Structure 1
Amino acid sequence: MTTDQRGEAAAGKGAKGTLSRPLMIVLATAVGAAVANRFYIEPLLSLVAGTFHVSTTAAGLLVTCANVGYVIGLVLLVPLGDLVEQRRLVTLMLVAAGVIAAACAAAPNLPVLMLTLGGLAMLSVCAQILVPLAATLAAPEERGHVVGFVTSGLLIGTLSARTVSGFAAGLAGFRLIFAVAAVVMIVLAVLLKRVLPPTPPAQRQGYGGLLGSVVTLVATEPELQRRMILAFLQFAGFTVLWTPMAFLLAGPPYHYGATVIGLFGLFGVVSAMAAPVAGRLGDKGRSGLTVTLSLALMVVSWGALALGASSLVALIAGIVLLDAGFQGAHINHQRTVFALQPEARSRINTAYMFAFFLGGVAGSSLAAVVYDAGGWTGTCLLGLVLALVALLLWLLRIPRRRSDAVLEGVPDAGA
C-alpha cells in the first residue's frame, strides 16, 4: 500500500468515528466565518472613504484588493491541503487571519487597510481547505451529505456577511466588524485544534511540484474540466443576479434604502437548506438527476426574476429558486470531483474553485454592462442564456462521464 493509500484509508477510518453532527456544525461555522472575511468590506466603502478622507473610487480599490488576495490564496495556499497536515494548516491560517483582521480594524490609513484586507482575503481560502477535509473525513456513503452541509456554511457566510457588516458599521463604524472577526478567528482556531482529528498528508512531493500538478490534474481529468466549465457558467449566472440587484431595489417601484437592500441577501440563505438534501441525493445514487433538476431550476428562476421588476413576491421566489438550483448542482459537482483522485482533493478544489471564481468575475462584469444597456430585462435575459447553456452542456455530455458507481461504488441513476 502506498503512502497516499494509507492516508486515504486512515481518513476513511477516522470518518466513521469522528465526523459527528457537532463536528459538522463546527466545520460549517468555520467555513462560513472564514469566507465572510472576504465580503465584509463591500458595504463599508463609503464609510472608509469618509474616515480616511479619500474618494469613493480610491475606497473601491479595497474590493479589488480582496479579490486579488483571494485568487492568490486559491493558487498558492489551497494546494497545501494535500501537502501539510490539515489540522495544523487550518489552525495556523485561522490564527493568522485573526491577527490580520485585528490589523484591519486598527489600520491608520487606506494603503495599510488595502494591504491587510488583501492578506485577510487570501487567508479566507481556509474555507476551501476545510470543505475537502470534510469530504476526506466522511465515509463514502455520506460524503455528499457532509459536503453539502459544510458548504451550506459557505453560502450562509457569503450571503450574510454584507448584512452583518452593515449592521456592525451602524453601531460603531467600519472597524468593529474586523475586530469581531479577529476574535472569531482565534476562537475557531482553538476549537478546531481541539476537535479535528489529525489527517496524514496525502503527498510527499515539493511545493513547486505540488503547484504544477494542479495543471496536470486539469489536463488529465476530463470530468474535472467539464465540472469546471459548469461551475464557471453557474457562478456567472449567480453574480448576474446579485451585481445589479441594488440598482433594481433602489429604483421604482421599490425605492428601498441600503439597509433594506442588504437584507435581501438573507433570502438566498434559505437555499442553503438545499445543499445537504442535494448531497444526500447524490449519496443515494441520484447525483446526475439532481444536477439536471438543479440546472433546470436555475433556468426557470429567471422567469420569476423577470417578473420581479414589478412584483416583490416573484423577485423573492426567483432568488430562492436560483440559489437553490445553483447550490444543488454545485454540491454534486464537488462530490464528483472529490472522488476522482482522493489523494488530490485540495488541488482539485483549487482548480474547480478557480474556474468558479472566474465565472463570478465574468458574470459581474457582464451584468454591469448589460444592466446599463438593457436594464433588468436585459439582465434576466443574460442570466437565462447562461443557465440554458449550462443545462444544454450537461444534457449533451458525450462521451458519458465516469459515473459515481466507478468513483465511489455508489450506483448513479444518471440524468
Structure 2
Amino acid sequence: MQMNSSNSISRTVIWLMSIISGLVVANNYYNQPLLALIADDLHVSESAASKISVLTQVGYALGLLLIVPLGDKFFRKKLILIDLFLVFGSLLWMTFADQLWMLYTASLLIGATSVIPQLFVPIAAELSSDKEKSSNIGLVMSGLLLGILLSRFIGGIVGDIWGWRTMFGIAAGLMIIVWLAIYKMLPELQPNFKGTYQELMRSVAHLARTQPVLRLASFRGAMAFGSMCALFTTLVFHMEKPPFNAGSSIVGSFGLAGAVGALAAAKVGKLQKFMDLNRIIFYSLLIVLGSWAFTYFAGETYWGLIIGVILVDLGVQSGHIMNQTNYFLIKSNAVNRLNTVYMVSYFIGGSLGTWLASIAWQYAQWDGVCFVGAGFGLLALIAHLLFSKKGNNIS
C-alpha cells in the first residue's frame, strides 16, 4: 500500500490503522469487566484484583515513554512488527498465569507493548494535509476508542461464558492476524532522527518544557482520562451489588453505551467550521463534568449510569481528538515525540484515576468514586480556562 504523495495517505491505510488500533488497544481493557471473576478465581480481594487494571495503564505509560519515541529513530513498520511479537507473548502469559504476581507482571507487559496505535496516530497526522488532519486522526482514534469500549463488552461476555482466561487467549490469536495485516499492507516511513536513544529521550523532555500548547493539552487529557477510568474501573464492583446484582457481561455491555459517545466524538473535527478549537475543548470538559451528575444522582438506576457513560465518553474523546489536533499543528518533525509527551501524561492520568477510584471505593463506595471522577474533570476545566489563551500561539 503506497502513499499517494509526500503529504497524502490513502483511505485504505487509514481504515487499516483504525481497525488495528482498536484490536491492539483492546488488550489493555479486557481485564476491567473481568476483575471480579479474577478476584474469585484467585481468592483475592477486589482491591488486589483492581491493581491489574492500574498496572496495565502504568505499563502503557511506560511503553509510550520508552517505545513510541523510537518511531522517529527507526523504520516504523519494523518497530511495529517486532513489538507485536512482544504483545503476543504477554497475552499468552496472562492466559496461563495462575498466581497474582504473574498476572501483575503480564498486565504490565501487555500495557507496555500495546502502544502501536500511538505509532499510527502520528503517521496519520504526518501524512495528512492540515485540512484532513483532524478527520484522519478522528478516524484512527474512533477505531482506537471503539476498541477500548467494545473490549469491555466482549471481555465481559467471553468471561461469563468461557472464563476470563479464554479472553486473553483469543486476544493472543488476534495479534497473529494483526501482524500479517501490517506486514502486507502498512507502508514504510523513513526515520527522521539521527541521534542516539539518550538524545532522543532528552528531546522528548525538551518538547515538554518548551511547548505550552503541548503541556496544556497533556494536562487536560490526563485529567479527563483519569475521570473516565475512575468510572469504568469501579463500575463492575458497583453493579455486582444491589439493586443491580449484575454479572460481568452486563457491566461489559456498558461499553456499547460508551461506543455511542465515542462514535459521536469522532465527528468532532467538523465543528471547527463553526467554532474554534479551544471552545470545542471547553464544551467537551463541561460534558465530562455533566456526566458525573447523572452517575452520582441517578447512580442506582440503569438509565442514570447509561447516560453517564455515554456523556463521559463523548466528552473525554472529543477533548482527546481536539487536544491531539492542537499539538500536531506545532511545526515540528518530532511527531512521535510530541505524541509521547501527551500520551504518557494521558495514561499517568488514567492510572491515577484508577488508583484513586479504587481507594475511594474501599472507603466511601460509589459516592467516593463520583467525587474522584468529578474532581478530575474540574481540574481539567480550571486549567483550560486559566491557560488556553496564553498557550494558544503555536510555535
Which residue number corresponds to residue 280 of structure 1? 270
Partner Cα separation in structure 2 for residue 195 and residue 103 of structure 1 = 28
Partner Cα separation in structure 2 for residue 67 and residue 387 of structure 1 = 19
- Report matched runs for 1:99-178 at 5 Å: 99-107=89-97, 114-178=104-168
Which residue number corresponds to residue 196 of structure 2? 206
Aligned-pair CA distance for 1:282: 4.0
Question: Any idea what the Cα deviations from partners look like across 1:86-143, whole Å, max 9, x if unmatched?
Answer: 1222122223323443444355766655544433322101121112222122222111
Partner Cα separation in structure 1 for residue 157 and residue 56 of structure 2 = 20
- Report matched runs for 1:379-394 at 5 Å: 379-394=369-384
- Percent identical pairs in the alignment equals 30
Which residue number corresponds to residue 10 of structure 2? 19
User: Which stretch of the first structure deviates more once superposed, 343-352 or 40-49?
Assistant: 40-49
Aligned-pair CA distance for 1:185: 1.4
1:199 match: secondary structure:
coil
Structure 1's 327 and 349: CA in aligned 2 closer, same or farther, altered over 3 A? same
Partner Cα separation in structure 1 for residue 289 and residue 48 of structure 2 = 38
Structure 1's 382 and 252: CA in aligned 2 closer, same or farther, altered over 3 A? same
Structure 1's 12 and 295: CA in aligned 2 closer, same or farther, altered over 3 A? farther
Aligned-pair CA distance for 1:341: 4.2
Partner Cα separation in structure 1 for residue 239 and residue 89 of structure 2 = 37
Partner Cα separation in structure 2 for residue 218 and residue 42 of structure 1 = 31
Which residue number corresponds to residue 228 of structure 1? 218
From 33, 36, 61, the equivalent of 2:26 is: 36
- How high is the TM-score relative to the length of structure 1? 0.84
Which residue number corresponds to residue 287 of structure 2? 297
The answer to whether 1:84 aligns with 2:74 is: yes
Larger Cα-atom Rg = 1
Structure 1's 121 and 382: CA in aligned 2 closer, same or farther, altered over 3 A? closer
Partner Cα separation in structure 1 for residue 160 and residue 364 of structure 2 = 34
Question: Does the CA-based 8 Å contact 2:153-2:251 persist in structure 1?
Answer: no
- Report matched runs for 1:47-58 at 5 Å: 55=44
Partner Cα separation in structure 2 for residue 30 and residue 48 of structure 1 = 27
Which residue number corresponds to residue 256 of structure 2? 266
Counterpart residue identity of residue 208, structure 1:
Q
Question: Does the CA-based 8 Å contact 1:235-1:357 persist in structure 2?
Answer: yes
The answer to whether 1:73 aligns with 2:63 is: yes
Question: Any idea what the Cα deviations from partners look like across 1:253-294, whole Å, max 9, x if unmatched?
Answer: 333233212222221111111232112334777322211211
Question: Does the CA-based 8 Å contact 2:64-2:115 persist in structure 1?
Answer: yes
Question: Does the CA-based 8 Å contact 1:66-1:122 persist in structure 2?
Answer: yes
Question: Does the CA-based 8 Å contact 2:60-2:347 persist in structure 1?
Answer: no
Aligned-pair CA distance for 1:346: 1.2
Counterpart residue identity of residue 74, structure 1:
L
Aligned-pair CA distance for 1:145: 1.1
Question: Does the CA-based 8 Å contact 2:35-2:50 persist in structure 1?
Answer: yes
Question: Any idea what the Cα deviations from partners look like across 1:18-60, whole Å, max 9, x if unmatched?
Answer: 321x322211111111111123334445665777x66458766
Question: Does the CA-based 8 Å contact 2:4-2:10 persist in structure 1?
Answer: no
Q: CA RMSD in A?
A: 2.9
Structure 1's 390 and 136: CA in aligned 2 closer, same or farther, altered over 3 A? same
Question: Does the CA-based 8 Å contact 2:57-2:351 persist in structure 1?
Answer: no
Counterpart residue identity of residue 214, structure 2:
L
Which residue number corresponds to residue 256 of structure 1? 246
Counterpart residue identity of residue 208, structure 2:
V
Aligned-pair CA distance for 1:153: 1.9
1:203 match: secondary structure:
coil
Question: Any idea what the Cα deviations from partners look like across 1:345-392, whole Å, max 9, x if unmatched?
Answer: 111111111111121222223323444554434443443343233223
Which residue number corresponds to residue 392 of structure 2? 402
From 318, 322, 325, the equivalent of 1:332 is: 322
From 287, 294, 317, the equivalent of 2:307 is: 317
Structure 1's 294 and 54: CA in aligned 2 closer, same or farther, altered over 3 A? closer
Structure 1's 280 and 14: CA in aligned 2 closer, same or farther, altered over 3 A? farther
Structure 1's 301 and 172: CA in aligned 2 closer, same or farther, altered over 3 A? closer
Counterpart residue identity of residue 153, structure 1:
G
Q: Structure 2, unaligned stretches of length 5 or more? A: none
The answer to whether 1:361 aligns with 2:358 is: no
- How high is the TM-score relative to the length of structure 2? 0.88
Question: Any idea what the Cα deviations from partners look like across 1:332-354, whole Å, max 9, x if unmatched?
Answer: 10111122244111111111111
Partner Cα separation in structure 1 for residue 367 and residue 48 of structure 2 = 31
Which residue number corresponds to residue 179 of structure 1? 169
Partner Cα separation in structure 1 for residue 163 and residue 198 of structure 2 = 43
Counterpart residue identity of residue 5, structure 2:
K
Aligned-pair CA distance for 1:321: 1.3
Partner Cα separation in structure 2 for residue 244 and residue 40 of structure 1 = 14
